[in-house]
Amino acid sequence: MSVKILAVGDICGEPGLDFLGKKLRDFRKEQGIDFVVVNGENANVVGITPRQADAIFRAGADVVTLGNHTWTRTELRPYLEERRKILRPANYGPQCPGRGIGVYHAPFGDVCVLNLLGRFTLDNNTDNPFVIADGYMAEIQEKIILVDFHAEGTSEKRAMGFMLDGKVSAVWGTHTHVQTSDACVLPNGTGYITDLGMTGPVQSVLGIDPEQSIGKFMGDPPRRYESAKGPVKLEGCLFEIDPETGKCLSAEALRLL
């Protein structure tokens, strides 16, 4: 019997957070979803607070992953140490609070989740995510292994997918907030999508008010990002996985409005 794993794209501001709270738990029940990973990187528009992380868990997430804005909110640092179910990228330095990989118990067996951060154009002082991921493969014992690769470059994400093909159950990309059309099962049995998309305002520029984003490109003085108004969507990918082998049987991009 297969299990269903849902990966949800970056939560964008309070609109995305509210929509997740309204939609996720019912959708999970209706679809018989067994495990949910949500990227909470932008729940505070930039970064995430402990309150917002708690709201994501209440909405029905089993694990929350992060990315390049992990350290934006300093109050998150002790929270990362206290809560095992929130992950920051594993290729940050070992002196950083929290963890980048975790094993979680589920009714169908244990699930290993790995969070990684890309280096192309993100200008972060991190270790090489490919070397880190490859090193973990020799250590992980669980059959079901899920990887959230928070990265800018589509080539970097595709390369990670193929490097881990046959070694993990699913690899998905986050960060760019635009859902890609390449959800698939790679040749050796790993589910893959280059980017999940986002959970936030539909009529926006990556969740941000369009006029503000246009102003930035026109040269306006910097100011705090503001979430766009109006209808909201939830985007992600649903993976069906064989718990005995860890192989992915299907991968389907989804969008809830």
What residue spans define the domains of the chain? 3-256
- For residue 124, what pLDDT is reported? 81
- For residue 2, what pLDDT is reported? 97
Query: Which H/E stretch holds residue 160?
Result: helix 154-164
Please state the rounded mean pLDDT for residues 142-154.
98
Provide the residue count of the chain: 257
Extract the tokens encoding 248: 């992915």
Dihedral sign for Cα 181, 68, 206, 6, please: positive
Does residue 68 surpass a pLDDT of 80?
yes
SS3 209: coil
CATH code: domain 3-256 is 3.60.21.10
Q: How confident is the model at residue 84 (pLDDT cuts 50, 70, 90)?
A: very high
- For residue 121, what pLDDT is reported? 87
Q: Which residues are catalytic?
A: 69
Indicate the residue type of 232. Answer: V
Q: How far apart are CA 59 and CA 26, in angstroms?
A: 9
Q: What is the mean pLDDT of the chain?
A: 97
Residue with tokens 């019912």: 26
pLDDT tens digits along 102-145: 999 999 999 999 999 999 988 788 999 999 999 999 999 999 99
Please state the rounded mean pLDDT for residues 213-232.
94
**Which distant-in-sequence residues (6+ apart) come within 8 Å of 255 by Cβ?**
179, 197, 233, 234, 235
Q: How confident is the model at residue 71 (pLDDT cuts 50, 70, 90)?
A: very high
Extract the tokens encoding 158: 């595709």
Question: Is the separation of the CB atoms in 101 and 86 below 8 Å?
Answer: no
Please state the rounded mean pLDDT for residues 40-59.
97
pLDDT tens digits along 155-205: 999 999 999 999 999 999 999 999 999 999 999 999 999 999 999 999 999
